[in-house]
Structure formats: C-alpha cells, structure tokens
Structure 1
Amino acid sequence: MKIASILCLFGIIGNLSGYAQELKVVNYQDGDQKLQGLVSANAAKGKSGVLILPAWKGIDQEAKTAALALEKEGYISFIADIYGVGNTPESNQEAAALSSKYKVDYQLYQNRIKAGIAALKAQGADKIAVIGYCFGGTGALETARAGLPVLGVVCIHGGLAKAADRPHTAIHAKVLVEHPAADASVKKEHYDALVQELDEGKADWQIITYAHAKHTFTNPESADYNELMAKRAWNHTLLFLAELLK
C-alpha cells in the first residue's frame, strides 16, 4: 500500500512533499553507539510527548505515519532508534536475528529505550508515554518492566513473552496491550503469563483483542492489514494517551 493510503488511515491530509518535511532528524547516543531518531517538526516545550518504538526493521513508514498523526493530536512525537547508526537490517532474516539479540539482552533494549526517553525530554516533553509496534511492542512492555519514567505504554501486536527466570516487579506505568486474535507468533502461555505478571505487579492494565486480525494487522503495507481493526486500535491508542497526557 502506498504512502497516501497509509496517511489516509490516520486522517493526515496534505501533499507528500510537505509530508517529507514534517519529521526532523535528532542525533543522540547510548554510550558509544550513535543513534538517530526522528522528532515531529513542530515540537514545543511544555507539551506531552510520545516515544514511538518501531518494528523489527527499524524506523519504518508505520512509525513515521504514527508520529505525524500524533503531532496532529498535539503531542511531541519521537521515533527512537534502537539498533543505532549503521545497524539497520536489510532483510527479514537480519531483522529477526538483530531483534532477537535485544529480546535476549533485555537490559540493552531497556537502555536504548531509556536513551530515547531522554532525547524526547530534551525536545521539551514534560509528560511521556510509549507506544510500540511488533518488536517495538515488546519494547513498550520492557519500558514498564524497567520502571522507566513514563506514565503509560501501548504494546501494539508485540511479543508478550518474558524469560521464565526473570522475576516479576512492580509495574507503575499504565499498560494497554492491543492484541490480534489470530497472531500466530504469540502462544497462549505467553498471553497468560503476561496477565499473571501484570496482576502480580499491581499494574493498571487492559488487553484489547481484535477479531480476525493477524500479527501485523495495523500496518497497511502488510498482508495482515485489517483496516477496520487498525482504525479501532488507533482510536483506542488515542483514548489511552488522552487519559494519560491531556
């Protein structure tokens, strides 16, 4: 699906040349690793911010479209760079290997998210929430698990599994999980374990399950795309963010 159709999903109207100028590059770092995120062009101090964690191939069109849509809602939106400059995967195989590394080394993933939060704060955001797609949805949950300074997280068709030997901790951020009912990548035991983890962590949580939806149901460029359920999921995201940030 082309960019115009993707923009249409989020209600973004305008010419595509203007679209390309809506996001600005922000250089930041995690230790020695150079990172390069994107921030909404009209960022202003004193606004609430949303950190976007992209899917397994890094900063992609779905993340950019979400950033523009969130800017329209009045938020500073910042797309985090998890892998770092020079490490963008070129194929699904490379993306699977690289994302798996961060899922196993979850503390590295949490640190990269922490760096993104700091970069968003440097843009003037006062209150922050996190949303993530797929691999980024896993990152949203890791944000909550790490107790990072955000008000809430949205996991959008993310992986729900956590290593069995990791202890449960208190979860202070509010949690919204947007789960496609036909997601073959999520096992029932992972779903059940997440519910137990959130309950034991005394989290304010909710899981919304979308009927007839496969894994990447929100992405118009995916064969799994489900337009109706994607629109519902986006509206649920906006409602959740408004409760947290407005």
Structure 2
Amino acid sequence: MKNLNCIFLGLIMYSGYSFAQLQPVQYKDGAQILNGFKIAPANKSVEKPGILILPAWRGIDKLSKDTADKLSKLGYYAFIADIYGEGNYPKDNNEAGNKAGFYKKNFEAYQKRINLALQQLIAAGANPNNIVVIGYCFGGTGALEAARGHLKVKGAVSFHGGLAKDHSRPTEPITAKVLVCHGADDPYESTEEVLAFQKEMRDTKADWQMIYYANAVHSFTNPESGDDNSKGAAYNEKAAKRSFEHLKLFLNEVLKK
C-alpha cells in the first residue's frame, strides 16, 4: 500500500497539475454524450466567480487542463467544455478542421454546446451571474459566439481565435465585455477579417479591447505548437505569459471575487 501511495503521489507531481482536483463530468446534448472537466477554486469566495474554458480544434488538451488548474489557484471555479462529444473526437488536424468548420458554420449548434457546458459550470458551484468564457483558437471563436449569442456571461476572452462571422448574420448589441489576445503575425486571420471584427465591435457598441503580441503567430499560448513561426502556428513564451497577465487583469475587472 505504501508503494502504491508513492506511485500515485509521483504521478500527481509529474502531471504538473492536480488530478485530484480536476474531475471528469459526463453530460449530454440529447443522446450525445459529452465529457468535460470541472475544478473548484483553491480558496472559495462568497461571489463564486466561474470561468468556462473552450478548447482548441483538437478538443480538450493539456493547455485547457493547465489553464483550469491555474484559474482554480486564483480563486475561480472552472469547467472545460466538450464541444464534439464521445465518438466524434478528431484523430488529426484534417478531421479537426472539418469538425470545427461545421460548428463555425452552424453557429447556433456551437452556441448550444457552449451553453450546455455553461450549465455544468454553474452546477459545479459557480455563481450564474458571475461568469466569463475564454477560448483558444477554435475555442476563441466560441467565446465570441457566446457573446454574440447573448449567453449569460459577463465577459468573453479569445486567445488567437477566429474573429469572422458570416456577413449575412445580423449585427446585434453585445453586452458582455470582450478581450481579444491576438498574434501580430497570425497568418490565419486576414486584415479584412480583423477590420470587419473591429467594425462589428464598434457597431454593437461593445466594451471591447484587442491586444496584439509582437512576433506571435497562431496558437502562441500552446507549448505543444513548436517554435517555428514559418509554419503559421507556434508557441511564443513571452506572448503566452503576457496574454495570461492580461486575462487576469480582465477577470479582476469583470468578475467579483
């Protein structure tokens, strides 16, 4: 028994975050089984602020789990959403692109999956009136869709996410505060898309901010993206650290703790 305890402790230490606190949660969209993760804050407060985390296009990954752990240490409830569902997880980037593309096109289905995860965050203990949604890449698009879809969130944060929406969609007022953390050299967002997004924010009279990070391309927050900017997606340690600090400032402003 002593040896087993030592092995278990070693696994926790090796993981880089606390498996004991990050707990799997199974929930459903109709018959579709979804598998998310929840984590409680290290120090709970009366206001019970919550963060909904939307992963990148490959689904729940180490980055989203590490982020949940960091946020719990800062005093937030966190929930990592499963957008694709059991049996639909992409096996490679090609599949991920197709599946993410479906939800970008069918934005109402995306908003529904996000809202289902939002309800799980609330069930885990977060105050329904004190929540921010954040997302990475495809998940960054989702965070903006949560704001566009008037989901009950006080703020939406996109890290190197897709900014565009179909031009045929009406532009409606956005009440959630918006933060976009964007790689200055991201090749996947055209100048036209960036300008259209900024116009959307102005037209909706949103409370928004967009921060550019020098020498950063797509996926700059993810250490698993490599370090070759010429590939269009690469980790940038300085940009990752700066963007997380900007996230903390945003959360301190938007959420009561």
| TM norm structure 1 | 0.91
CA contact under 8 A between 2:41 and 2:74: conserved in structure 1? Answer: no
CA contact under 8 A between 1:24 and 1:41: conserved in structure 2? Answer: no
- For structure 1, which segment, 211-220 or 17-26, has the greater mean C-alpha deviation from structure 2 after superposition? 17-26
Q: Separation in 2 of the partners of 1:143 and 1:159?
A: 13
Written as runs of structure 1 = structure 2, the 5 A alignment for 1:214-233 is: 214-223=217-226, 224-233=234-243
Post-superposition shift, 1:42? 5.0
CA contact under 8 A between 2:177 and 2:207: conserved in structure 1? Answer: yes
What one-letter code is carried by the residue in structure 2 that aligns with 1:77?
A: A
Q: Deviations over 1:110-139 (max 9, x none)?
A: 000010111111111111100000000000
Q: Separation in 2 of the partners of 1:76 and 1:42?
A: 5
Q: Which residue of 1 aligns with 2:148?
A: 145
Q: Separation in 2 of the partners of 1:152 and 1:20?
A: 28
The reply on whether 1:161 has 2:164 as its aligned counterpart is yes
What one-letter code is carried by the residue in structure 2 that aligns with 1:89?
A: P
Q: Deviations over 1:124-172 (max 9, x none)?
A: 1111100000000000000000000000000000011111111101100
Written as runs of structure 1 = structure 2, the 5 A alignment for 1:1-246 is: 15-16=13-14, 19-41=18-40, 47-126=48-127, 127-223=130-226, 224-246=234-256
Post-superposition shift, 1:90? 0.8
- For structure 1, which segment, 29-38 or 96-105, has the greater mean C-alpha deviation from structure 2 after superposition? 29-38
Structure 1 residue ranges without an equivalent (≥5): 1-13
Q: Separation in 2 of the partners of 1:31 and 1:152?
A: 28
Q: Separation in 2 of the partners of 1:93 and 1:34?
A: 23
Post-superposition shift, 1:32? 2.2
- 3-state SS of 2:34 partner: strand
What one-letter code is carried by the residue in structure 2 that aligns with 1:168?
A: T
What one-letter code is carried by the residue in structure 2 that aligns with 1:39?
A: K
The alignment yields a C-alpha RMSD, in angstroms, of 1.5
- For structure 1, which segment, 178-187 or 22-31, has the greater mean C-alpha deviation from structure 2 after superposition? 22-31
What one-letter code is carried by the residue in structure 2 that aligns with 1:135?
A: F
What one-letter code is carried by the residue in structure 1 that aligns with 2:152?
A: P
Q: Deviations over 1:66-94 (max 9, x none)?
A: 00000000000100000011211110011
CA contact under 8 A between 1:46 and 1:124: conserved in structure 2? Answer: no
Q: Separation in 1 of the partners of 2:87 and 2:184?
A: 35
Q: Separation in 2 of the partners of 1:97 and 1:53?
A: 17
| TM norm structure 2 | 0.87
Tell which structure's C-alpha radius of gyration is larger.
Answer: 2
Q: Separation in 1 of the partners of 2:196 and 2:219?
A: 22
CA contact under 8 A between 1:52 and 1:78: conserved in structure 2? Answer: yes
CA contact under 8 A between 1:52 and 1:80: conserved in structure 2? Answer: yes
What one-letter code is carried by the residue in structure 1 that aligns with 2:107?
A: Y
Structure 2 residue ranges without an equivalent (≥5): 1-11, 227-233
Q: Separation in 2 of the partners of 1:168 and 1:95?
A: 28
- 3-state SS of 1:51 partner: strand
- Paired-residue identity, %: 52
Post-superposition shift, 1:229? 1.1
